[in-house]
Structure 1
Amino acid sequence: MAELSSLSHARYGKDKVRVLRVVREGSWHHVVEYSVQALLEGDIDVSYTKADNSVVVATDSVKNITYYLAKTSPHILNPERFALHLGTHLVSKYAHIHKAFVTIEQLRWTRIPVETDGQSEPHAHSFYRDGEDKRIVKVEVDATAGKNQIVGKVTAGINDLLILKSTGSAFTNFVRDEYTTLVEVDDRIFSTSVDLSYTFGQFNIPAPKDEKKLDFVVPKAEPGSIWDVEVPEKARKVTLETFATDDSASVQATLYKMAQQIIADNSGIQSVTYTLPNKHYVPVDMKYIGVDNITPLTEAEVFTPLAAPSGLISATISRKQ
C-alpha cells in the first residue's frame, strides 16, 4: 500500500519531574522547588516510523539526568541557569539529539521571620509558602548547527499572580451600540490574575569541555541580560507597583505601561507579554431595602465575585529595532 503520510515533527521527554533541593551553607539553608519538563528533538524519526528504539533516550533517563543535575549543578538555585544547564547537557551528551526544550515551574518558598533580641530576622532553615504565583522559565537549547555552536533562547515570567485594588480604575468612552449593556464607571475594583512572560534575545552557549559534558559556564552577567539574576524580581516589582499606582483608564492601558517599563529596565529583553483576565466584583444592589450600595467612590462597599464569564486582555510589547 502506498504511503499516505509522513512524520513532520517529533518531540518527546519527561514531564512533571518534581524536585525540592536543599542547598546548605553551614547552618544557613536555601530551598527551591521545581516542576521540570524536559523534551528532546533530533534524529529520532525511526522510533516512530520503523519501531526502532535504538535512537530513544528513555524518558526515565531524562528524569534521572534531571535529578542528577539537581544534585550536582552549581546553578540549581536559579531556574533560568539550571534549565540552560540541563538543556545544554542533553544536546551535548547525545550526538543525535539536536534540541532540548526545558520548562521549569518554581513554587514560592520564603524564610519565616522570627523574633531574635527584639528584631525580626529571617530563619536560617524554616520557610513558608507566601503566595500561589509561580516563576515560569522556558528554555530552548539548539545545537542544530553543531555541538560547538549552541544557541539558547529563554522566555521567563510569572503565572497566577492574583492582585486587586479597590479604587484608581475606570472604564469609560468604549463603543456603545445596540449590544451594549455595560454601564460606564469612573471608579471600580480592578482585579486580575497576572500571567507575565518576557523573552530575551538569542545568545551563544559555550560547549561543555569535559568528557561527561556536564560543564556549564555562565558568562559575565550584564545588567538586564539573561544572566542577570535580578531581572525576575525587577519584573515582578514593576508589575505590582505599576498596577498599584497607575490611574487606570483600562486594563489595556495599564498593561502597556507595565510592559514598557520592563523593556526600559532590562536591555536583554526583546518582548513582553501580559495576559490579564478580569476578576469581576460587582456591587450588590440593595435598593430594595432602601440602601445605596451602588454609587461609586462613596457607597459601593459590598461586592459579589463573578467567576464567569470574564474579560481576557492580552498583548505583546516588543523592543523597537
Structure 2
Amino acid sequence: MPLIRNSYGKGRVRIMRVKRDSARHEVRELSVQAMLSGDFDAAYTEGDNSKVVATDSIKNIVNIVARDHVGAENEEFAGLLAKYFLDRYDHVSGVDIAATETKWTRIAVDGAPHDHAFVLDGNGKPFVELSATREASRLVSGVTGLTFLKTTQSGWENYVFDEATTLKPTADRLFATAMDASWLWSSVPASYPRANAAVLAAALKVFAGTYSPGVQNTMYLMGEAVLAAVPEVAEITMACPNKHYLPIDLSPFGRGFDGQVFTPTDEPHGQIECTVGRG
C-alpha cells in the first residue's frame, strides 16, 4: 500500500533566550515544534533509518540556533531555524516551524520598567508559524486567547426568530471574547514586534470605539482596520468565541436588573470566525 505523506520532528521544545549584551536584558520564552518532510519514506516502509535525523538531534538544533541568535525576533528565529535544516540536510525538502511565546512584562519599579525583572503576562500567547522549502516560504504571526471585554455599546437584534428561538434581542449587552487571530505576511515589516503591536492596537481600537451590532460585523471592521494600519499584512483570520455574561434575575428579592450583575459563562459559546484580505 502506498505511503501517502509523512513528516516528523520534535514538539514542545521549550527554550528561554536572554539577550544580555547591555544592562537592559530582553527575554523571549518559546515552545517550539519543528517538523521535517523529505526523503524519509524508507524509514516508514522498510525500517531504514539511514536518512532520519533523530528527534533528539532536532531538539539540539533548536537549542543551537537559539544560542546563536539570542536577539532574533520570533519570526526571524523561525526562519533561521528552517534555514539551518534546509542548508544542512540535502534530503530535507520542507520544514514547518510552530513557535508559541510565553510573554514576560517588565516589572515597574517606582514607575519605571525594570531592566532585568519581569512578571508573567497571562493575556494572550503570541505565536509564529513558518512553512519553508528551498523555493518559497509562508510566514504567519498571531495570538491565541487574547481576552477583552466591553460593558456597553454592543447589541444583538434583527436575527432569525422562529420556533427554536428563545434568546431575547437587546441593544445593550456585554461583549467579551478570547480571540485567536493569525495574520499572513506578504512582505517583511521594518520591525515584527512593532508591526504585531500595530495589528492588535488597530483591532482593539475598533472593538473599543465602535458600536457592535454583532460579533460578525465587529470582527470584519477589526480586520479592515488591521489591513489599513499594517500594509505588510496580506490577510487576517480571526476566531472569536462569544463569552457570555448573563443577566441575573433578582426580581424575587425585589431588585430589578439594572445592567450591573451578571453570571459569567463560556460553555456553550458562540463561535464566530472570518478572514479579511486585500481585494
- TM-score range relative to shorter protein: over 0.9
SS of the residue corresponding to residue 259 of structure 2 reads coil
Q: For residue 89 of structure 1, what is the aligned residue in structure 2? A: 84
Q: Which has more radius of gyration?
A: 1
Give 1:197-216 correspondences, 5 Å limit. Answer: 197-201=182-186
Cα deviation for residue 307 of structure 1 reads 2.7
Q: 1: distance between equivalents of 2:30 and 2:78? A: 11
Q: 2: distance between equivalents of 1:9 and 1:188? A: 48
Cα deviation for residue 238 of structure 1 reads 1.6
Q: 1: distance between equivalents of 2:250 and 2:275? A: 41
Q: Would the aligned equivalents of 1:292 and 1:300 in 2 still touch at CA under 8 Å?
A: no
SS of the residue corresponding to residue 152 of structure 2 reads coil
SS of the residue corresponding to residue 82 of structure 1 reads helix
Gaps of 5+ in 1: 144-149, 204-220, 294-298
Q: 2: distance between equivalents of 1:83 and 1:75? A: 13
RMSD of equivalent CA atoms: 1.4
Moved more, 153-162 or 20-29: 20-29
Cα deviation for residue 74 of structure 1 reads 5.4
Cα deviation for residue 309 of structure 1 reads 1.0
Q: For residue 48 of structure 2, what is the aligned residue in structure 1? A: 52
Q: Would the aligned equivalents of 2:202 and 2:229 in 1 still touch at CA under 8 Å?
A: no
Q: For residue 185 of structure 1, what is the aligned residue in structure 2? A: 170
Cα deviation for residue 231 of structure 1 reads 1.3
Q: For residue 24 of structure 1, what is the aligned residue in structure 2? A: 20
Q: For residue 308 of structure 1, what is the aligned residue in structure 2? A: 267
2:244 is the counterpart of 1:280: yes
Cα deviation for residue 317 of structure 1 reads 1.1
Gaps of 5+ in 2: none
Q: 1:239 aligns with which of 180, 185, 203?
A: 203
> Scaled by the length of structure 1, what TM-score is found?
0.84
Q: Deviations over 1:40-64 (max 9, x none)?
A: 0001110000100001011100100
2:120 is the counterpart of 1:123: no
Give the residue type in structure 2 aligned to 1:194.
M
Q: 1: distance between equivalents of 2:121 and 2:76? A: 24
Q: 1: distance between equivalents of 2:203 and 2:179? A: 9
4+ residue runs of structure 1 moved beyond 3 angstroms? none
2:129 is the counterpart of 1:138: yes
Q: 1:110 aligns with which of 105, 108, 112?
A: 105
Q: 1:33 aligns with which of 15, 29, 33?
A: 29
Cα deviation for residue 242 of structure 1 reads 1.5
2:213 is the counterpart of 1:249: yes
Q: Would the aligned equivalents of 1:107 and 1:132 in 2 still touch at CA under 8 Å?
A: no
Q: Deviations over 1:84-141 (max 9, x none)?
A: 11011111110000100000101111111111xxxx2111100011323110110011
